[in-house]
Structure 1
Amino acid sequence: MFLKKNIPDDMIEDIYYLKKRAGLYKKLLLLSNEVVNSIKADTEERPLHQDVRDLHTKLVLLYDQVQEDANNLLNIYLSLSARKTNDVMKLLTVFSVFFMPLTFIVGIYGMNFKFMPELESPLGYPLTIIAMFVVSVLIFFWFKRKKWL
């Protein structure tokens, strides 16, 4: 992709002010359109008057294009910002989904109940560690199948 990863904030402000100035100039040109069209030219000055009209029309179209391009650049910036936010949220979701079930299992065994049969079993600790590992592996494969990892 040919876009930079990080766009400086001052560049975004410059684009925004360019858009505002182009809009202002376009309004001024549209207001001056009436003046340009109301001028009556003699036969000798008609080519010059037509050149002024053509230049005026060209400037209106040019500032319209500049305003549209600045608007498109601002929309692209907002889209890239939203995409970065979505990537961060996706990463945080993956971490939270991995650690929520493990935290639940640890929370159950950290309550110090008096009657927990698996605490008396010599395999209680290894089975809990294996269960936590199996849950993590299942979550990993589920995310792989969803193509999040």
Structure 2
Amino acid sequence: MIKCMLISPTDKTLFGGRELIEQWQKDEQSTLWIDLDNVELEEEKQLLTNFNCHPLAISDAQRERHPPKIELFKDYIFMLYRGIVANDDGLRFGHLQISMFIGKRLLITRHPQSSLAINELFNQSSEKYLKRSPIHMALRLFHCSCGYYLKELFTFEAELEKIEDKFQLSGNDRMMKQITSHRSQLVKIRRTFNYHVSMGDTLKAFVDDDDTDLITDKEIHTVNDLRERLDRLLSLSQMYYDICGDLINGYMSVTSHQLNATMRVLTVITALFVPLTFLAGIYGMNFEHIPELKAENGYFILLFVMAVISVVLLIVFKKKRWL
């Protein structure tokens, strides 16, 4: 589906389809936002080519999976980032690749599925962003997508605190598996946020070095605000990753301590019964001339010796704090 928003300084904002493109071409004072939502690849490629988009940028945008990036061309900026299409419990985000071609009077967004951020901003209340400039609208879209990430991370933070409290009281293998799963998801999320932070740094460099007139000085605050949000996402994902790692290490330490305590008890039991088994084995042999074999109280004497050995060993283990 192709959706268009046309901003004109003289007329009211118009929403429609392809028909607004021709109207935009006739009015050099107007600004156009074209949203390509799950459009056929050939039709999409033809439209982007008509707007002089670079073939390599079109190829990157249409790839099923591509690392987030930002590139500066002669007449526009190409941005590709990962938004959210849906999410599940446990930080299992449904990532959505969103591409943006940003010119002086034109913004083209491309995505294979419905985007939460674009659906939120493609309306009458957001026309002020596009009226200011296409790059401002694009930065707002990126900022809005980051907001969905933040919302889910804050929800996860509350869940992680509950897991942490339960884990300290009664950690088990099921909880260990759950935390390991969260940690694995955080690795993937952190990788995405690393790419996004690099994009924020590149945008800041474009402003500082005056590499393009598409990003003016009045967008410095917007770029800095976006960079702060991107940095926050990365730091939060890193912090949660570290917490999960600490919980796993703590569980492994407790489990190891419990295993050592169990092995210590078993070692003490074994040490107690080794001399007793030795004595029982000797007097259980079927030889005729074993000393004390026919002693009248030999059985009770042997039991007494065994008891003394056991008590002495227990005292020794107690002094060594093995018990």
TM-score (norm 2): 0.43
Q: Tell me, yes or no, if structure 1 residue 103 matches structure 2 residue 267.
A: no
User: Aligned partners of 1:109, 1:44: CA distance in 2, in Å?
Assistant: 99
User: Aligned partners of 2:202, 2:300: CA distance in 1, in Å?
Assistant: 93
Q: Which residue of the other structure, out of 118, 130, 149, is the alignment partner of 2:292?
A: 118
Partner of 1:50: 224
Indicate the structure with greater helix content: 1
Q: Tell me, yes or no, if structure 1 residue 12 matches structure 2 residue 176.
A: yes
Runs of 5+ in structure 2 lacking a partner? 1-164, 207-214
- Larger RCO (CA within 8 A; separation ≥ 6): 1
Q: Percent identity?
A: 29
Kindly tell me the number of residue pairs found equivalent between the two proteins: 147
Cα deviation, residue 126, structure 1:
2.3
User: Aligned partners of 1:31, 1:9: CA distance in 2, in Å?
Assistant: 34
Q: Tell me, yes or no, if structure 1 residue 32 matches structure 2 residue 199.
A: no
User: Aligned partners of 2:243, 2:286: CA distance in 1, in Å?
Assistant: 65
Q: Tell me, yes or no, if structure 1 residue 59 matches structure 2 residue 223.
A: no
Runs of 5+ in structure 1 lacking a partner? none
Indicate the structure with greater strand content: 2
TM-score (norm 1): 0.90
Q: Tell me, yes or no, if structure 1 residue 80 matches structure 2 residue 251.
A: no
User: Aligned partners of 1:141, 1:93: CA distance in 2, in Å?
Assistant: 15
Runs of 4+ displaced beyond 4 Å = none
State the structure with more CA Rg: 2
Q: Tell me, yes or no, if structure 1 residue 68 matches structure 2 residue 242.
A: yes
Q: Tell me, yes or no, if structure 1 residue 128 matches structure 2 residue 292.
A: no
Alpha carbon RMSD of aligned pairs, Å? 1.5
Q: Deviations over 1:26-54 (max 9, x none)?
A: 11111122322222432222111110011
